[in-house]
Amino acid sequence: MRTSVKLFASRCCVLFVLGSVVSCGPKQNSVGKPHTEVISEDAGVPDAAVAEPEPPKPPDNVFTRIGGKDGVKKIVDEFVDGLYADKKLVRVFGKLKKNAEKDGKFRELLAEHLCADLGGGCTYTGRDMRAAHKGLRLTQVDWNNFIEHFTQVLIAHKVNDNDQSEIFSLFGRLQKDVMQK
């Protein structure tokens, strides 16, 4: 009798231990609610291994190579400062130089025009070249001085010969509208 009580007690003990180790269903927390663990989808993957989407590359064209919008703005500012400082061009740019509002607009539109023509994706919002230069009575000497100033700035910005040619062939196509009779 004593042996069977002992056997019963030891079996109960084994069942109790198994029951506490192999428990099924969600764990209960201290307030009796099921404890659910949220495992994020990239758990275990180091941050560096999660690929960031690459930003789109700017197109490979003259506009990009001369520095995009910032580059063009710098080029235009240096170019216009040079035009204003040139005594030979006072007749043409004298008034513009003294009018801060018109000067600012001129620089902005020149940059916008270059951006639109050189592949920067801008929309030019100024007057067409014929209307913009109407009545200025520009001479071949004025034109040559304008081109000379632009060339110097492009050289200072290390713009290569091919890109310079592309810019000047664009200017060449506009010359007849700028230098109208």
Q: Is 110 in the site for ligand HEM (CB under 6 A)?
A: yes
Say if CB 35 and CB 26 are below 8 A apart. Answer: yes
Q: Which residue has the tokens 């099921």?
A: 34
- Residue 35's Cα: distance from chain center in Å? 47
| Per-residue interface string for the shown chain with ligand HEM, residues 35-74, x marking contact by CB under 6 A | ----------------------------------------
How many residues would you count in the chain? 181
Q: Is 149 in the site for ligand HEM (CB under 6 A)?
A: no
| H/E run at residue 149 | helix 140-156
Q: Is 106 in the site for ligand HEM (CB under 6 A)?
A: yes
Say if CB 97 and CB 84 are below 8 A apart. Answer: yes
Binder of ligand HEM out of 73, 97, 133, 157 (CB under 6 A): 133
Residues that bind ligand HEM (CB under 6 A): 92-93, 96, 106, 109-110, 113, 126-127, 132-133, 136, 138, 142-143, 146, 171, 174, 178
